[in-house]
Amino acid sequence: MASRKNGSVARERLSRDTIVDGAIALADAEGLDAVTIRRLAQDHKVTPMALYWHFKDKGELLDGIAERLFADVRLPVPSRKPWPEQLRAILEALSDALRPHPAVAGLVSDRVLSSEAGLIVAERTLALLRHAGLSTEQAAQVGGYLLNAVAMLVTTEPGREYGPDSEARDDAIRRKTASLSGLPLRRYPSIVSSANVLAACPSPDAYFRLGLDMLIAGVTATAEQGSVAANPA
C-alpha cells in the first residue's frame, strides 16, 4: 500500500513539463547522450516507473523535448511587411528558441509535424513561402530545408563543440587556434589568416545574422526564378 501511495505522489510531483525541463537542463550540461529515463529518475529521486507514466520510452521523451523547443518559438504577429522580412522574423524566432539548447536543437528537424507547436511553426512558414510564389512542392521542400539549416547553424556553431565549461573551452580554443596558425603559410594562407575564426565564433550574433541572410537570399532567388519561369518575357 505504501509503495503504491509513493508512486502516486511521485507522478503528481513529476509533471510532463518538469521531466522535460530536467531533460533539457541535463542535455545542456552533459550532452544529449546523458539523457536517459534512468538518469532523470535518479536526478528527481524517483523510480523510472514514475517517468514511464508520462513517457513510455526515450523516443517519446525526445519528442517531448522537441515539442517544448517549438513551443518556445515566439512567432511574430502576422503583418503586411514584405514576405522576406516576415520569413526572416520567423527564422529569427526559431533560432532564438534553439540557441540556448544546442545539444537538443537537432531534434526539431524531423519532429516539426509531430506536435501542435511544431505544426503552427510549419503552417506559418509554408503560408509565407506560398505567398512568395513557390509551388506547394517547392514550399514544402524549402520549408524543410530552412528548418534543418537553422538547426544546423545552432548545432555547428564554431566553438560549441568544446562544451559549456568556460575555462576548458578557452583552453581548447587556444590550442586549436595555435594548431591552425602553425600550418605551413605558403600552402594554407587562407586557413592561417582565418585561424581564430575557424577555431571559435568571435561574434555569435553576427554568425547567426549572416546565416539567416544567406537563407533568405537563397529563398528570394528561388522565388524570383520561379516568377520568371512562370512569366517569361
pLDDT tens-digit series, residues 18-46: 999 999 999 999 999 999 999 999 999 99
Burial 203-218 (b: 16+ CB within 10 A, else e): eeeebbeebbeebbee
Type of residue numbered 190: S
Alpha helices for 37-187 (secondary structure H):
37-43, 48-52, 58-71, 83-98, 102-105, 116-131, 136-155, 166-181
pLDDT band, very low/low/confident/very high, at 5 (cuts 50, 70, 90):
very low
The 8-class DSSP code of residue 64 comes to H
Overall residue count recorded for the chain in this entry:
233
- pLDDT tens digits for 95-141? 999 999 999 999 999 999 999 999 999 999 999 999 999 999 999 99
Integer Rg of the chain from CA: 22
Answer for the pair 126, 143: CB distance below 8 angstroms, yes or no: yes
